Amino acid sequence: MHVIIVVGSKHGSTRSIAEAVGEVLRHRGINVTTVDADAASASLAGYDAAVIGSAVYVGRWMKGAQAFLDANRESLRNMPLWLFSSGPLGEGPKHPDDLAEIRGFAADVHAKDHQIFAGKLDKADLSFAERAAVRIVHAPYGDAREWGRIRSWAETIASELSDPMGSMPTSTTATQ
Ligand SMILES: Cc1cc2nc3c(=O)[nH]c(=O)nc-3n(C[C@H](O)[C@H](O)[C@H](O)COP(=O)(O)O)c2cc1C
């Protein structure tokens, strides 16, 4: 069993989430290759399943991650796929169109799940323009990543990959 984890991350906090997922899968005896979306080759040949995630900027996935999904839509439709988005720090996405693209994609390719994880905003990492954008949306600075939730999600993935027939159906409330 070989799982590819593809991640879109600008400041590194989403990459750490992907690494935490990979670590759990490896502990469960699954081979994992983690790649940055910008560097990912278009081919999914040789992989049995995929976990793809991205930081959310202004309601959308990062370009490289979205491009990876678009380039691999057909292959992803034919393999077990889990998606995650990382961003919200306060009350979560505020605009009704937030993540609309990725929700549509998840439904189209029958992704097994799409989780939204809280992210991290470190003022020192941000450009002047990014700080201005953060002020406008009143997003709080800090590290809100929920490592327990992230690891237990990864455990669910590992269980489902080890025993696809035995696992519980994915909760509909978790798919967004
Ligand atoms: C300019 C800017 C815009 C953002 N827009 C959103 C947003 O629309 N929705 C959201 O949930 N999070 C938003 N965030 C929060 C980021 O997604 C969050 O900080 C994330 O953890 C960054 O991931 P990265 O470190 O992997 O780049 C924004 C952050 C910045 C700096």
Residue 176 lies in a domain: no
- The answer as to whether 17 is a domain residue is yes
Asked if residue 93 has its Cβ within 6 Å of ligand 1, the reply is yes
| In the chain, % of residues over pLDDT 90 | 74
133 lines ligand 1 (CB under 6 A): yes
Q: Model-level pTM?
A: 0.91
Domain-located, residue 172? no
Question: Which tokens go with 29?
Answer: 């005896």
Identify whether the C-beta of residue 103 lies closer than 8 Å to the C-beta of residue 59: no
Integer-rounded Cα radius of gyration of the chain? 16
Q: Does the Cβ of 142 fall within 6 Å of ligand 1?
A: no
CATH number at residue 10: 3.40.50.360
Domain assignment present for 169: no
The pLDDT of residue 115 = 95
Residue with tokens 């678009």: 70
Distance from Cα 28 to the centre of ligand 1, integer Å: 31
Which of 57, 122, 131 has the most ligand 1 atoms within 8 A of CB, as the residue to mutate? Answer: 57
**Does residue 90 sit within a domain?**
yes
Worst-scoring range by mean pLDDT, 59-63, 86-90, 129-133, 143-147?
86-90
The two three-digit tokens of residue 69, written as one number: 């999904």
> 13 lies in a domain?
yes
Alpha-carbon distance of 79 to 76, in angstroms, equals 5
Asked if the model's pLDDT at residue 92 lies above 60, the reply is no
Contact status, residue 157 vs residue 82, Cβ threshold 8 Å? yes
- CA angle, 8 then 154 then 61, to 5°: 20
Residue 21 scores a pLDDT above 70: yes
Into how many domains does the chain fold?
A: 1
Residue 62 lies in a domain: yes
CA pair distance 134, 144, nearest whole angstrom:
15
Contact 65, 76 (CB under 8 A): no
Residue 129 counted as domain residue: yes
Structural domain boundaries enclosing 86? 2-162
Q: Is any atom of ligand 1 closer than 6 Å to the C-beta of 87?
A: yes
